[in-house]
Chain A
Amino acid sequence: DSGVTQTPKHLITATGQRVTLRCSPRSGDLSVYWYQQSLDQGLQFLIQYYNGEERAKGNILERFSAQQFPDLHSELNLSSLELGDSALYFCASSVDLTSGLYNEQFFGPGTRLTVL
């Protein structure tokens, strides 16, 4: 158990809908990262937050957005869903950006999103 929790475990929805994925980082971790894992794209970095502020953006679509709250949990919002958004979405957390190179990221178990 990494200490990172994600809810829900599974989500099935229809095209055009909007969903929210939730992540609670390990206690004390300030950075949260979101990744998308799909068969054709592999593991893709989406976005990073550090202590409530956006720190880095990867291949995140405009239909997707995220935020990190004062209690450090994070939410990933996916809207106008398409079939191709079906994937496993992982959240990861790490301790501290300033010593970031040496800090491993701890991954949650993921949320499997299926868009029908």
Chain B
Amino acid sequence: GDSVTQMEGPVTLSEEAFLTINCTYTATGYPSLFWYVQYPGEGLQLLLKATKADDKGSNKGFEATYRKETTSFHLEKGSVQVSDSAVYFCALRSKTSYDKVIFGPGTSLSVIP
């Protein structure tokens, strides 16, 4: 079945450091890919999405490119801030998963001043 794998956390970075969170997926066909963020004590919010190969999703300085050849959707940010501290979930949605969203395990990010 469809699945999403993310790099293990927790990740701790200093403010203004470069962030990469790796995400790879297994799916039949052409899924849509998402990054969701969960701030402490809150629900999930969509951060960015990409719906076809080579699409780049971007929001709030974060970017991810849909790479079909490597089945990846890595999240990057050039300069993280303390306010970026949260848990990040990579996710996919495909027809073979009956339109439900399949989430990765989440990667916890802590940014220290």
A-B contact pairs, 25 of them (CB 8 A): A2-B43, A33-B100, A33-B101, A42-B106, A43-B103, A45-B100, A45-B101, A56-B100, A90-B43, A90-B44, A92-B101, A97-B99, A100-B99, A101-B31, A101-B32, A101-B51, A102-B51, A104-B34, A105-B101, A106-B46, A107-B36, A107-B44, A107-B45, A109-B43, A110-B43
Q: Please pick, from A43, A101, A106, the residue contacting B89 in the complex, using a CB distance under 8 A.
A: A43
**Is B99 a contact of A48 with CB atoms below 8 Å?**
yes
Cα A67 to Cα B6 with chains together (Å): 32
Residue ranges of A at the interface with B (Cβ–Cβ < 8 Å): 2, 4, 33, 42-43, 45, 48, 55-56, 58, 90, 92, 97, 100-102, 104-110
Sorting the interface of chain B by its residue count into under 10, 10 to 19, 20 to 34 or 35 or more gives: 20 to 34
| CB-contacts of B33-48 with A (<8 A) | 34, 36, 42-46
